[in-house]
Amino acid sequence: TWKSERVITSRQGPHLRLAGGGAGILNFCANNYLGLSSHPEVIRAGVETLEQFGAGLSSVRFICGTQSIHKDLEEKISHFHQREDAILYASCFDANAGIFEALLTPEDAVLSDELNHASIIDGIRLCKANKYRYKHMDMQDLEAKLQDAQKHRLRLVATDGAFSMDGDIAPLKEICRLAEKYEALVFIDECHATGFLGPNGRGTDELLGVMDKVTIINSTLGKALGGAAGGYTTGPKPLIDLLRQRSRPYLFSNSLPPAVVGCASKALDLLMESNTIAQSMAAKTQRFRSKMTAAGFTILGQDHPICPVMLGDARLAAVMADDMLSRGIYVIGFSYPVVPKGKARIRVQISAVHSDEDIDRCVEAFTEVGRKHGALP
């Protein structure tokens, strides 16, 4: 189960070339949900911004690292999410590392879903607030913890909007209802939702009708929004102002490189022009999920392009993933400690730029490999 990295010698996309000769490999394990990583307009915007604004700022934002493009992108992000303001980071990992410590004191409490992303867990570790961990998406447990947390000054419920390992979606309606009842703020990490969940791709809060109830959103520019790098927090202006003063990964790390800003900015333009791109993935996801289920596999989650093919055994997941690659399909097995013991899986991720034929080829290969290794009868 030792992890190794496969080396890609082409652009990111549904069809890849790998070092060592593999060409025409079908890629089913990138977070390139909308295919914007290699979109011609996104690439052109990156090149133009690179030429106009240079390779980088050689500085953090508050010394001499803020260009007009950084301010423009922050405005675009807050407009996209219908929030008051936004702040950019070098990654969403940094956004998550910076927010809890800046916002919460030892008098406060943070309530976190047990399956939250590692960067949320690390961010919470860095703050001195009282920590509660509620069972995954368990609203009874969250309510009990919120009751206990009434003794603290401020309560913040923190959850992934969509969970990256299981492809399931946080019950935000119920979370927001409980937050209202117990006077808590709601924070969501939208890395696996921004750009494609909800009628206009705004994310889980749009999908579940709670855009006006979620206070803080952290998300990434490194997945659906062009896939380069970068992260952000968007929410109330006073909170964003506070982060600019206090958030350590923002204060003490370089500004986002202009080319990256240019790519993300164009990706947001494309998504705000029309909702066709955001809508383009649902049918493909449905095709993969229903065909795999019919073939006898168990797929976790609902309607999300993250489709975990459950296998249980860590070695089986690794061996099957290798065998899939020998048939030209690039997928990755996940096992402990990334997922709980006994819940190893191959995580398939559907992209809007997969064709129906790509998806059918993937299902056929899974069926053959599953039979060969005993995962299917």
Between the CA of residue 100 and those of 159, 217, 233, what are the distances in Å? 13, 13, 12
Catalytic residue list contains 164: yes
Min separation Cβ 259 and ligand PLP, Å: 16
Sheet containing strand 15-16, edge to edge, reads: 15-16, 25-27, 329-330
Dihedral sign, Cα of residue 312, residue 315, residue 321, residue 326: negative
Min separation Cβ 117 and ligand PLP, Å: 4
| CB of 218 or CB of 367, closer to ligand PLP | 218
- Tokens 């990434």 map to which residue? 220
Q: Are strands 306-312 and 25-27 parallel, antiparallel or unpaired?
A: unpaired
Tell me the two tokens of residue 367: 């069926």
Measure the CA–CA gap between 96 and 222, rounded to whole angstroms.
Answer: 14
Measure the CA–CA gap between 72 and 16, rounded to whole angstroms.
Answer: 33
| CB of 195 or CB of 370, closer to ligand PLP | 195
Min separation Cβ 92 and ligand PLP, Å: 3
| CB of 70 or CB of 192, closer to ligand PLP | 192
The residue annotated as part of the active site, out of 15, 39, 70, 192, is 192
Tell me the two tokens of residue 242: 């506070």
237 in Cβ contact with 85 (< 8 Å): yes
Min separation Cβ 31 and ligand PLP, Å: 7
Residues of this chain that interact with ligand PLP (CB under 6 A) are 91-93, 96, 117, 119, 160, 164, 189, 191-192, 220, 222, 231
Catalytic residue list contains 223: yes
The residue annotated as part of the active site, out of 78, 164, 255, 265, is 164
Measure the CA–CA gap between 374 and 376, rounded to whole angstroms.
Answer: 5
| Side chain identity at residue 368, one-letter code | E
Min separation Cβ 231 and ligand PLP, Å: 4
- Tokens 């999410």 map to which residue? 81
| CB of 111 or CB of 369, closer to ligand PLP | 111
Measure the CA–CA gap between 220 and 197, rounded to whole angstroms.
Answer: 14
| CB of 112 or CB of 367, closer to ligand PLP | 112
The residue annotated as part of the active site, out of 145, 223, 304, 354, is 223
Sheet containing strand 344-349, edge to edge, reads: 306-312, 344-349, 332-334
Min separation Cβ 249 and ligand PLP, Å: 10
76 in Cβ contact with 264 (< 8 Å): no
Catalytic residue list contains 192: yes
| CB of 231 or CB of 370, closer to ligand PLP | 231
87 in Cβ contact with 240 (< 8 Å): yes
Give the residue numbers marked as catalytic.
Answer: 164, 192, 223
